[in-house]
């Protein structure tokens, strides 16, 4: 038995990209079905990004889910770069007139789930064997299995919002798809702890032992990271070992304010730059991590996904208004912006980490770049305008 469903847009993936797209389209009266291979609790539990650009907050406003981010998010007018304990503040507000909002991806996801659930819109969770089909036939569909039953969703368009390991990108024929990749020779070990942040702004630190980042989720919850070997086992990283390494990398002046405690989340994430081109094929469009990955150093992954989704929502809405211009130019428009954000995330990653095979010359180059940023308003401004977010197009 096969169950047949019909919708306008079938959205594969209920991460932030898929959920936001669904909300923007539903608000515009466009019918969507969202499917995910995991369930809501699992998706909401994934601790990832923490910094939202103003454009991202605006997208949440457009989606009608910004009440909590405005009530609970922490606006930040600046952040710091540190080199061997010497700190330089990037004055986001002063240099750009803009700022960022600290608010966790877990909360963004929860707000979007709540809105879709309240509106009684359709999800399929725990789906298996998802296959986007007939992409160029004029009659696209998505097949999947749920509890041993075969389903087919017939639709006008398919949005591939299924992350880096999803199936959507792989549905683009190999002779069409080009991919570009850099894998960095280290990972980030991240912890969450219910202690006030060491500083009221984020600190990105380069130290000879490796990178460290002091971030936060609230005034009483801190999110801290250190560069580690990507093959390390979590069992090698007791809280004591983490605190010792983290404090050393922040330097004694900053570490004097550090409040330590028992971590309640600990994970290691690899660092990668990746872009797939084109971001569409026939009736399929990719958005978010399904099409590109950035290393987390510039806090861009989630923001980039949201920018894609805003452009994809606009393209699909114009289609139903009888104008296919934005649909036809979606991939090129998005990729122009994606590459600029890839460049920024790569540049900041190259500046702030210790690379195992760096020669003394490379280390001097990092130091000179930091000194230049610290002494030049133009250089600081270039960092600031990227950090607060480039224009949508």
Any contact of residue 73 with ligand RFL (CB under 6 A)? no
Q: Taking a C-beta distance cutoff of 8 angstroms, is the pair 131, 142 a contact?
A: yes
3-state secondary structure of 278: coil
Task: Calculate the dihedral angle through the C-alpha atoms of 169, 175, 182, 290, rounding to the nearest 10 degrees.
Answer: -10
Q: Among this protein's residues, is 204 annotated catalytic?
A: yes
Q: State which of positions 26-55 bind ligand PHB (CB under 6 A).
A: 49-51
Q: Pick the catalytic residue: 204, 224, 225, 330? A: 204
- State the Cα–Cα distance between residues 80 and 203, nearest whole angstrom: 5
Q: CA end-to-end span of the chain, whole Å?
A: 46
Question: What is the DSSP pairing of strand 32-35 with strand 9-12?
Answer: parallel
Nearer to ligand PHB, 96 or 345 (CB): 345
Binding partner of residue 12 among ligand RFL, ligand PHB, none, CB under 5 to 8 Å per kind? ligand RFL
With CB under 6 A as the contact rule, the residue among 10, 33, 34, 43 that binds ligand RFL is 43
Question: What is the DSSP pairing of strand 203-207 with strand 78-83?
Answer: parallel
Nearer to ligand PHB, 192 or 245 (CB): 192
Any contact of residue 384 with ligand PHB (CB under 6 A)? no
Any contact of residue 288 with ligand RFL (CB under 6 A)? yes
Q: Which positions ≥6 away from 244 have C-beta within 8 Å? A: none
Segment interacting with ligand PHB (CB under 6 A) among 171-179, 244-252, 292-300, 334-342: 292-300
With CB under 6 A as the contact rule, the residue among 9, 18, 32, 352 that binds ligand RFL is 18
| Interface pattern 191-220 for ligand PHB (x via CB under 6 A) | -----------x------------x-----
Binding partner of residue 43 among ligand RFL, ligand PHB, none, CB under 5 to 8 Å per kind? ligand RFL
3-state secondary structure of 319: helix
Strand order in the sheet with 203-207: 86-91, 78-83, 203-207, 210-216, 222-228, 178-193, 263-277, 292-293
Find where tokens 């002494």 sit: 375
Size of the residue set binding ligand RFL (CB under 6 A): 33
Find where tokens 């991919």 sit: 179
Any contact of residue 132 with ligand RFL (CB under 6 A)? no
3-state secondary structure of 224: strand
Q: Among this protein's residues, is 300 annotated catalytic?
A: yes
Nearest distance from C-beta of residue 297 to ligand PHB, angstroms: 6
Q: Pick the catalytic residue: 16, 296, 319, 330? A: 296
Question: Long-range contact list for 364-367, CB < 8 A, 24+ apart?
Answer: 366/83, 366/206, 367/83
Any contact of residue 210 with ligand RFL (CB under 6 A)? no
Q: Among this protein's residues, is 387 annotated catalytic?
A: yes
Listing DSSP states for 18-78 in one string gives HHHHHHHHHHTT--EEEE-SS-HHHHHT-----EE-HHHHHHHHHTT--HHHHHH-EEESE
With CB under 6 A as the contact rule, the residue among 76, 169, 207, 223 that binds ligand PHB is 223
Any contact of residue 297 with ligand PHB (CB under 6 A)? yes
Q: Which residue is nearest to ligand PHB (CB)?
A: 50
Chain residues binding ligand PHB by CB under 6 A are 49-51, 202, 215, 223, 296-299
- Which residues contact ligand RFL by CB under 6 A? 12-18, 35-38, 43, 48-49, 105, 127, 130, 161-167, 269, 288-289, 296, 299-302, 305
């Amino acid at each position: 038995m096969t169950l047949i469903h019909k919708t306008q847009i079938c959205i594969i993936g209920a991460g932030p990209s898929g959920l936001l797209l669904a909300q923007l389209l539903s608000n515009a009266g466009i019918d969507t079905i969202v499917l995910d291979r995991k369930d809501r609790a699992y998706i909401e539990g994934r601790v990832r990004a923490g910094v939202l650009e103003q454009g991202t907050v605006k997208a949440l406003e457009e989606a009608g889910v910004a009440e909590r981010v405005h009530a609970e998010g922490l606006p930040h007018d600046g952040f710091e770069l540190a080199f061997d304990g010497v700190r330089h503040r990037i004055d986001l507000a002063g240099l750009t007139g803009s700022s960022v909002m600290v608010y966790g991806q877990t909360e963004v996801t929860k707000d979007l789930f709540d809105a879709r659930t309240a509106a009684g819109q359709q999800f399929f969770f725990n789906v298996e064997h998802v296959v986007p089909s007939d992409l160029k036939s004029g009659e696209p569909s998505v097949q999947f299995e749920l509890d041993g039953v075969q389903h087919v969703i017939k639709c006008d368009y398919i949005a591939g919002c299924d992350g880096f390991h999803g199936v959507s990108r792989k549905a683009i024929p190999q002779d069409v798809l080009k991919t570009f990749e850099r894998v960095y020779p280290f990972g980030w070990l991240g912890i969450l702890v219910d202690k006030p942040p060491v500083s009221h702004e984020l600190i990105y630190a380069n130290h000879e032992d490796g990178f460290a980042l002091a971030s936060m989720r609230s005034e009483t919850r801190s999110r801290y990271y250190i560069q580690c070997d990507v093959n390390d086992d979590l069992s090698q990283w007791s809280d004591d070992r983490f605190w010792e390494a983290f404090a050393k990398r922040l330097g004694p002046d900053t570490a004097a304010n550090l409040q330590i405690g028992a971590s309640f989340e600990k994970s290691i994430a690899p660092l990668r730059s990746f872009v797939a081109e084109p971001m569409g094929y026939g009736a399929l469009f990719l958005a978010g991590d399904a099409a590109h990955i950035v290393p987390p150093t510039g806090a861009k992954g989630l923001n980039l996904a949201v920018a894609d989704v805003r452009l994809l929502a606009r393209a699909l809405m114009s289609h139903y208004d009888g104008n296919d211009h934005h649909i036809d130019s979606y991939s090129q428009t998005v990729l122009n912006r994606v590459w600029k954000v890839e460049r920024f995330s790569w540049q900041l990653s190259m500046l702030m980490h210790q690379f195992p095979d760096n020669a003394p010359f490379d280390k001097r180059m990092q130091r000179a770049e930091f000194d230049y940023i610290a002494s030049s308003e133009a250089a600081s401004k270039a960092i600031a305008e990227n950090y607060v977010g480039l224009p949508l197009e």
